[in-house]
């Protein structure tokens, strides 16, 4: 209670003096008022944790109506205010009415010192709980992104329809999911879509970017910490897994987890419990794991760089998002979607792309995938002075534009060489995956790689 700020409202100077003298050693600050009309001022300038409020201020008044009027005013300013009524004319009926009206507690005058201190201690614990809940809500709001609805995910290509079909099958399950895909393909968007379609849709969706967190901060970021756990821990903080309780925890770039980080995460997932850093209290947690990566986790498991038991724990279902260059007409659908968004944002009347612009968008290889397309369209909208966007506004990398010469190759060996190169690139060097794409055995692919010196 030594951090509590208390406002005492009473018209009796002796009462104010006695309470001030009694409570001063136990609280941080005390302010006093002799009339209820000062309450609003102190609530705005002092922000009390607890308000000790007399029920009667007029001479000979014993009904307590003035106190109830003041309580109503206090709760209109702060519905969660902690108000403790004080009166020399206490009775059960009045106490019950006070609690129903929103008071936290009720004490009689003259008070018993130990009982008064116990009441204030309980009230301060309630206040701290309220503040922690509000803090968690703020963190959830800052960490949770805008809900992604199925209709907001753009795609009509066969490869994307296959992805959507799997997502629909997951809709009423709690299965953990790993999403594979190149950078910029929209793994985070798909993760939010999975959450939105799940039974946990009304609970938090919390993201943690494992590629951006140093190993020495991983434990405190994921599990939180108690005050004093380390030098800069001046107050307790809930971790991402605690904030996500009941909802979905999105582990982005999970392939960046070090072995030590993998072990700590596996323990929390298996036991469904954890401790904050520096804390002794074990907290239970119930989260659905959706992870994403652009790495070949299967190969990392084979090489011992990723724990097999952790991979199987999080990998109930696999989803593979294809790169944008393999999605055909989806490129134009997405481009038109972004054109509408940025035309509204920048207040421009841009209605379409011209023919050359569409052909350029379709031929470009999009190494940055959907993210690159979004930025390209935004820049084009900003720079455009017409209602139609032309290809000159895209400023795309010439090295990634579709080659006409490549599409006109008819030599079988050259075509095979091109196909193998593309398969190796798309599988990120994984020979087994590339062989599956090409419909040949892994040993046959090794021979062809050697033949073509690839």
Three state DSSP letters for 156-212: CCHHHHHHHHHHHHCCCCCCCEEEECCCCCCHHHHHHHHHHCCCCCCCCEEEEECCC
What pLDDT shows up at residue 233?
Answer: 81
Contact 26, 37 (CB under 8 A): no
Per-residue tens of pLDDT for the chain, all 454 residues? 667 899 999 988 999 999 999 999 988 899 999 989 989 999 888 889 999 998 887 755 667 788 899 999 999 988 889 999 988 766 667 778 888 889 999 888 888 899 899 999 998 888 887 777 766 665 565 555 445 544 457 899 999 999 999 999 998 899 999 999 999 999 999 999 999 999 998 889 999 999 888 888 899 999 999 888 888 787 888 899 999 999 999 999 999 999 989 999 999 999 999 999 988 888 899 999 999 999 999 999 998 999 999 999 999 999 999 999 999 999 999 999 999 999 999 999 999 999 999 999 999 999 999 999 999 999 999 999 999 999 999 988 766 665 444 444 556 667 778 888 888 888 877 888 888 888 788 777 877 887 777 7
- What is the C-alpha separation between 349 and 76, in angstroms, rounded? 46
What pLDDT shows up at residue 1?
Answer: 61
Q: What is the DSSP string of 89-105?
A: S--HHHHHHHHHHT-SE
Which element (helix H / strand E) includes 371?
A: helix 369-383
Q: How many CB atoms lie within 10 A of CB 252?
A: 19
Residue 438 CB-half CA count within 13 A:
28
The CA R_g of the chain, rounded to the nearest whole Å, is 32
What pLDDT shows up at residue 143?
Answer: 52
- pTM of the entire predicted model: 0.61
What pLDDT shows up at residue 407?
Answer: 44
What pLDDT shows up at residue 281?
Answer: 83
What domains can be seen in the chain, in order of their start residue? 5-140 (3.40.50.2300), 150-320 (3.40.50.300), 324-400 (1.10.8.60), 404-451 (1.10.10.60)
């Amino acid at each position: 209670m030594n951090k509590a700020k208390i406002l005492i409202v009473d018209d009796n100077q002796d009462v104010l003096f006695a309470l001030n003298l009694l409570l001063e050693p136990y609280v941080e600050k005390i302010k006093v008022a002799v009339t209820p009309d000062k309450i609003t001022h102190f609530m705005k300038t002092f922000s009390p944790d607890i308000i000790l409020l007399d029920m009667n201020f007029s001479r000979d008044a014993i009904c307590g109506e003035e106190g109830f009027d003041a309580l109503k005013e206090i709760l209109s300013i702060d519905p969660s205010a902690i108000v403790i009524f004080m009166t020399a004319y206490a009775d059960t009926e009045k106490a019950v009415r006070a609690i129903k009206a929103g008071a936290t507690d009720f004490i009689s005058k003259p008070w018993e010192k130990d009982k008064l201190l116990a009441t204030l201690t309980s009230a301060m614990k309630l206040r701290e709980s309220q503040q922690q809940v509000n803090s968690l809500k703020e963190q959830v709001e800052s960490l949770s992104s805008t809900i992604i609805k199925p209709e907001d995910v753009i795609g009509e290509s066969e490869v994307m329809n296959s992805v959507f079909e799997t997502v629909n099958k997951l809709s009423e399950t709690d299965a953990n999911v790993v999403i594979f895909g190149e950078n910029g393909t929209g793994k985070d968007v798909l993760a939010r879509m999975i959450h939105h379609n799940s039974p946990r849709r009304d609970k938090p969706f919390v993201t943690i970017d494992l590629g951006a967190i140093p190993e020495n901060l991983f434990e405190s970021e994921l599990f939180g910490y108690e005050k004093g756990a380390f030098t800069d821990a001046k107050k307790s903080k809930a971790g991402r897994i605690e904030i996500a309780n009941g909802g979905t925890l999105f582990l982005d770039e999970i392939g960046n987890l070090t072995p030590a980080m993998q072990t700590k995460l596996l323990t929390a997932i298996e036991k469904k419990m954890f401790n904050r850093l520096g804390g002794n209290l074990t907290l239970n947690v119930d989260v659905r794991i959706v992870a994403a990566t652009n790495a070949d986790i299967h190969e990392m498991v084979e090489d011992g760089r990723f724990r097999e038991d952790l991979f199987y724990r999080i990998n109930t279902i696999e989803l593979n998002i294809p790169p944008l260059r393999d999605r055909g007409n989806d490129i134009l659908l997405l481009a038109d979607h972004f054109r509408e968004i940025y035309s509204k944002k920048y207040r421009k009347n841009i209605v379409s792309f011209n023919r050359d612009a569409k052909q350029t968008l379709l031929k470009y290889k999009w190494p940055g995938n959907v993210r690159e397309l979004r930025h390209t369209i935004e820049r084009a909208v900003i720079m455009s002075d017409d209602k139609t966007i032309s290809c000159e506004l895209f400023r795309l990398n010439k090295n990634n534009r579709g080659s006409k010469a490549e599409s006109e190759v008819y030599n079988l060996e050259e075509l095979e060489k091109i196909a193998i190169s593309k398969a190796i690139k798309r599988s990120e060097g994984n020979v087994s995956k590339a062989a599956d794409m090409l419909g040949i055995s892994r040993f046959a692919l090794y021979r062809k790689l050697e033949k073509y010196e690839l």
